[in-house]
Structure 1
């Protein structure tokens, strides 16, 4: 049976104390210089009064136009200009842009989060060059773009539950489209650049550990971010999975699932689902990724000399699992 906990007591136990203990940034990281300027591209875009203005906007932002707008996918320049002009002059989309502006303001919080994350990345990877950071309102067309040189936040996705228009997706996914989750979600995508994996190994355990490494990376570069914003669980869900960790693990072991390679089975525990009924109807989806995170955490706790770079470069998931000695007990 999957047991639930009272949220208040658990949040105080799991998160409040951790935040006090884990949010101090070491001086050697704090003094690293990074440059973060968030360019709000939706402002000049929605100020366009003509198709000529839209053309000038595209020409003035060539990398953004190529990667986020995907300009080359249109049959002609006139086609992309006409499409974007229709967006820029759409009253409902203009309203959504205003709501996004009211929600995010000067984005000082996001700027601080990105500075902290980039400082940590530079500490571990001195060759890292922070990408340009831009925002846009695309009419809920794209939420995030992360590349080596460009990071774009589709902020209309993250306005929140009071927005006039929300992403067309399932409710359990929609709950993750909130402002506090935006930067952690981008850093999770950025982790792919550093996360070495064995693409030939597709077992459930391999997928669990690979994703666990990604979550661990984000927590390492954003130490003040609550775990809930990194994995996309609610506080109650996170409290419940911690309390039921032993029962969850027992399910994987007793059902002999760790080395299962069937994509259908693996996806039950790794892919997007509203819950994991195989364990309990009230348990959240993607439980395998959460367990993978705990395996990686245990591995790093038991191997304090292993650096973040070494962890991310380690593609032997079996080694990480074995040396973690992960074996939570049922409560």
Structure 2
């Protein structure tokens, strides 16, 4: 009997792998053919005579409240030159990142036929890591000076916290890009309760599951592998904590700061656990609820993204890992 069960498990796993491989093969045929426009290189080399042409080609990169003289002076600023040099060293070869972006866009086009690949423009923005990716319907702007590596001196000497720095690397560019597209496609207007926030971010993370199968789970959520392992090991405890303290349906405005927003750790207010836990554990549990919902229901990705919190939660049959 055990051998039959094992055989069935192996067969189902192999079938699932073949099915996923066939799907990825179909998605690869979409071929969005991404082209990267390296604006920061053009800006670094532009002369006073050529500047009007650059401005004409990239008008959205130059705020009208500043005169041309401001931009030309900025180009020769010592800090700006250092930024150009560091970006040029880190991104002298952009092929791997370009390939990942194309894979993302292939998935977006496969699942959303109305998606039109935007112009992808790289730049620098004085290490404004909070705005490192900006996406519109026609343009995606990526600030490369926010992806120089977690231990880069720009970030260490600026006292950027370690939990933020660890995702300031080139490997995270496509994750941030997918994150911005997830926000555009998700409809989740009511976010008053902790559970609303959990399901919203669960949708966002599930979107990245679908769009970024070539990235690890840890990369998709922005954890280290050890942090993800901690969340998996303690999943049952986290869930029991939320349920026993009746936090799921609470509208307490402090809860997102404790369990949803970026932070070095989650705030259970228990000395034995807080220091070991990663931040955003509410997002992690929301992710598992949405995954359970998709496993239990015949629902398309598009349909999932507009489902309400209560619909997803009540029909997920979620049970934490023990």
Same fold per superposition (TM over 0.5): yes
Q: Alpha-carbon deviations, 1:216-267, whole Å to 9, x = none?
A: 1112011111122221111110111111111111110111100011212233
C-alpha separation between the residues in 1 aligned to 2:174 and 2:52? 30
2:47 pairs, out of 46, 49, 57, with 49
1:320 pairs, out of 312, 317, 320, with 312
Q: Counterpart in 1 of 2:281?
A: 287
Q: Counterpart in 1 of 2:296?
A: 302
2:180 pairs, out of 174, 189, 198, with 189
Q: Counterpart in 2 of 1:135?
A: 122
C-alpha separation between the residues in 1 aligned to 2:83 and 2:173? 17
Q: Counterpart in 2 of 1:102?
A: 89
Q: Counterpart in 2 of 1:59?
A: 56
Pairing of 1:255-274 with structure 2 (within 5 A): 255-274=245-264
Verify the 8 A CA contact 1:36 1:111 in the aligned structure 2. Answer: yes
Please tell me whether residue 243 in structure 1 is matched to residue 241 in structure 2. Answer: no
Verify the 8 A CA contact 1:131 1:151 in the aligned structure 2. Answer: yes
Please tell me whether residue 147 in structure 1 is matched to residue 145 in structure 2. Answer: no
Please tell me whether residue 84 in structure 1 is matched to residue 78 in structure 2. Answer: no
- Per the TM alignment, residue 169 of structure 1 is displaced from its structure 2 partner at its CA by 3.2
Pairing of 1:91-240 with structure 2 (within 5 A): 91-141=78-128, 142-166=131-155, 169-199=160-190, 201-240=191-230
C-alpha separation between the residues in 1 aligned to 2:26 and 2:92? 31
Verify the 8 A CA contact 2:259 2:267 in the aligned structure 1. Answer: no
The structure 1 segments of at least 4 consecutive aligned residues displaced by more than 4 Å after TM superposition are 20-23
Verify the 8 A CA contact 1:99 1:163 in the aligned structure 2. Answer: no
Partner SS state of residue 153, structure 1: strand
C-alpha separation between the residues in 2 aligned to 1:328 and 1:211? 17
Verify the 8 A CA contact 1:203 1:266 in the aligned structure 2. Answer: no
C-alpha separation between the residues in 2 aligned to 1:23 and 1:41? 37
Please tell me whether residue 34 in structure 1 is matched to residue 24 in structure 2. Answer: no
Partner SS state of residue 151, structure 1: strand
Return the structure number with greater relative CO, CA threshold 8 A, min gap 6.
Answer: 1
Verify the 8 A CA contact 2:258 2:267 in the aligned structure 1. Answer: no
- Per the TM alignment, residue 21 of structure 1 is displaced from its structure 2 partner at its CA by 8.5
Partner SS state of residue 313, structure 1: coil
Verify the 8 A CA contact 1:212 1:294 in the aligned structure 2. Answer: yes
Q: Counterpart in 1 of 2:6?
A: none
- Per the TM alignment, residue 23 of structure 1 is displaced from its structure 2 partner at its CA by 7.6
RMSD: 2.1
- Per the TM alignment, residue 155 of structure 1 is displaced from its structure 2 partner at its CA by 0.4
* Unaligned ranges ≥5, structure 2: 1-16
Verify the 8 A CA contact 1:54 1:84 in the aligned structure 2. Answer: no
2:265 pairs, out of 255, 268, 275, with 275
Q: Alpha-carbon deviations, 1:118-145, whole Å to 9, x = none?
A: 1111111111111110101222244111
Q: Counterpart in 2 of 1:14?
A: none
Verify the 8 A CA contact 2:97 2:170 in the aligned structure 1. Answer: no
